Structure 1
Amino acid sequence: MASSEFEGLITIGVLARASGLTASALRFYDDCGLLIPARVDPLTGYRYYRQAQRERAALIRQLRAIDLPLETIAQILSGDPAVARRLLDHHVDDLARRAREAARIVAAVKESLETSPHVAISATVLAEALGQVRAAAARTREIPALAGVLVEAGANALTLTATDRYRLSTRTLVPHRQHGGAWSLVLDPDGLAPITAWLRDVNEIVATPTEHALILTGDGAEHRPTVIDEPFPDHRAVLSRLGPVRTRVVVARHSLLELLEKAEATVQLAIDQTGITTLDSSHLPATVTGSPVTLSFAPATLLPAVHTALGPDLMLDIAAADRPVVLRSAIDGDLTTLAMPTRPATAQNENT
């Protein structure tokens, strides 16, 4: 190439520095026909550009910076201003739409990362369950966790459990909605009574666990029952070791309740196909299947279990006279209570 052919031309390196593009990008735009050099040395392959091509190169860099496709850039640079304006407006609208969608996705991701696990549930149902389950909690704090109520959130379920080692009550509730993984904590009984009363006047509450409290929010109010920082006994192991049911009794709950309310000492229940008979010959009609059995209970153990049971008919599942008796509604299995019998008087006398 004669030297006169280079006059007024600039090298690819000069154009790269002037336009903010790299030499490799300029070679790529040459290959795709977007920015063709004015001259190419046939011997060396060097590319040379006119000074006027600086503006086109800078414009390409600006358009690529806003993610315009090469085909659209070629149309914009074709020389028709009306077409260029229409394509640019369309691209800006598309960018705005994508930005809104990105903001929506980011907000959802942030919420999933930052929002604590929580459960939304009927406040009145929760109040009822707390009242029922708390009856099985220990009255002393010899073992602090036994005085509290275990609250567990799992797969579409909120379960409340309490036990004093002689009784165990557990009830499973179905939440309206749930966010986050499983969690559990033990509610301290102190201050729980007024919170339970408040729940009865609220429609729905959201329960959110924290390290030292359970935050209950509903109807613009918030309560924070404290928690007991101590592991709860493995109550599921107790349930799994109950053994097979040998005797099943279905009895009117109010009848059994009246009998227990009159009792002042240990209540002995002789169960056979005719029903339930006590030591003073009081008889309760009942539907009994399985083997006859005689059970002895302290009224303070059995009475709360019967009092808090659901429904008019109570079902008792009995494995043996010295094993916990499972009490639940004959038609509603959401609430389950275990009551531990005492040793029969005859057995006690034999060892004295």
Structure 2
Amino acid sequence: MDDTDALMSIGTFARRVGLAPSALRFYDDCDVLRPAYVDGVTGYRYYAHGQQARAVLVRRLREAGMPLTDASVVLDGTREEARAILEGHARRARETAASAQSAIEEILRDLSGERRATVRLGGAELASAVRQVAPAVASAPVREEFPVLGCVLIELERQEVRLVATDRYRLAVRAMRPSSFEGDPCRVLVSVMELKDIASWAMRFADISIEVERGRVRLHGDGAERDLPAVDETFPDYRMILDSLPAARHRIIADRTALRAAIADAGHDGPLTLHTDEQQLILAFRGPVTSRLSAVCTGASVRIAFDPGVLLPALDAGVGPDVLLEISSPAQPVVVRSADQGSFTTLVMPVRDTSTDA
């Protein structure tokens, strides 16, 4: 009998426990849920029936928004340690619930094209997307010199609606799946200030439709409607930027809230240096170490510097408990995104590491 006869393939196991195969691979990489057997020739992963309870618990913890570092304690710690982690997480969830409601107050942007299209989205989803991409728009002085950097690009396609913004140091892309689509793929540019105003309006509706025709943008929600003026500018070719990124050589997964707090609490203007040391992320400003955080680090040790004023908004705009940094080199743009949710991606330019200068 083959060794795998009593085991389940990753696809079968994924359906049994309610996790995607990609999530199972991710949890394998992070030592959270190792397969019972890996075929040395094909690399296929196989799971035992006895692993189902752990997998379901992993899924439930992640659905509750728990960071992997805390989830590992619940999975492998003592009962007392698990209870303390769970109670602490529940308390933080209650404290942030109110701010999460008010945090949804931004909306739409960026379309250009003469074709006609109508898509339908959730009002809250659109507002959340605006909240995520808007921080990547350039500051007012830069917008005066380069008006296009004060705009958000809205791309409408049958499978996805995308919001894109950049200030040349950051690039934010949020993808949404429409509930319906009619017409032709098109794109339009809109002012970020106009889009933020529309976002507050769209929050009142469970669903809204976005209609684009000859560069005109109109939103409809439950009998009400709003016009969103289009901007006649040429947006940078963000797809070329994404396609030209080298392959990531280093990956860092950290508690997003803890990393954000460590940077903000340090109270320095920067530059901020991040350094990986085994499964630790070390933060330093101009040399002295300010914080050490638990992290999942893959690849060789890496040292990279950022402007905190650029990195912090990228962390704020993320979703989920964990943040993933994908680094090709200390001089190339760094991909900042949720560790297990791919609908929102930010590119952040690093800066020169001056901490080792004589």
TM-score, with structure 1 as normaliser: 0.64
Give the corresponding residue for 2:247: 244
SS of the aligned residue for 1:344 comes to coil
Give the corresponding residue for 2:161: 158
2:255 and 2:155 map into 1 onto residues whose CA distance is 31
Structure 1 residues without counterparts, runs of 5 or longer: 1-114
Aligned residue-pair number: 235
- Corresponding residue to 2:269 among 265, 289, 311: 265
**1:178-221 CA distance string (max 9 Å, x none):** 00111001111233222111111111111011345311110111
CA contact (8 A) 1:144 1:228 kept: no
Structure 2 residues without counterparts, runs of 5 or longer: 1-114
- Corresponding residue to 1:317 among 302, 314, 326: 326
RMSD of aligned Cα (Å): 1.6
Q: Any residues of structure 2 matched to 1:111-190 within 5 Å, and which?
A: 116-139=116-139, 140-141=142-143, 142-190=145-193
- 235-244 or 257-266, which deviates more: 257-266
2:116 and 2:350 map into 1 onto residues whose CA distance is 42
CA contact (8 A) 1:272 1:291 kept: no
Give the corresponding residue for 1:104: none
1:244 and 1:223 map into 2 onto residues whose CA distance is 43
- Corresponding residue to 1:275 among 263, 280, 296: 280
2:134 and 2:249 map into 1 onto residues whose CA distance is 29
1:128 and 1:190 map into 2 onto residues whose CA distance is 15
CA change 1:155–1:192 in 2 (3 A) is closer
Q: Which amino acid aligns with 1:295?
A: I
1:165 deviates by: 0.8
Give the corresponding residue for 2:312: 303
CA contact (8 A) 2:120 2:178 kept: yes
1:223 and 1:166 map into 2 onto residues whose CA distance is 32
Matched, 1:343 2:352: yes
1:155 deviates by: 2.9
CA contact (8 A) 1:160 1:172 kept: yes
Give the corresponding residue for 1:216: 219
1:346 deviates by: 5.1
**1:156-192 CA distance string (max 9 Å, x none):** 2101111111001101100010001110011112332
Q: Which amino acid aligns with 1:126?
A: L
**1:134-171 CA distance string (max 9 Å, x none):** 11111131221111111001232101111111001101
Q: Which structure has the larger Rg over C-alpha atoms?
A: 1
Q: Which runs of 4+ in 1 moved over 6 A?
A: none
1:116 deviates by: 3.9
- Corresponding residue to 2:195 among 185, 192, 195: 192
**1:78-111 CA distance string (max 9 Å, x none):** xxxxxxxxxxxxxxxxxxxxxxxxxxxxxxxxxx
Percent identity of paired positions between Structure 1 and Structure 2: 34
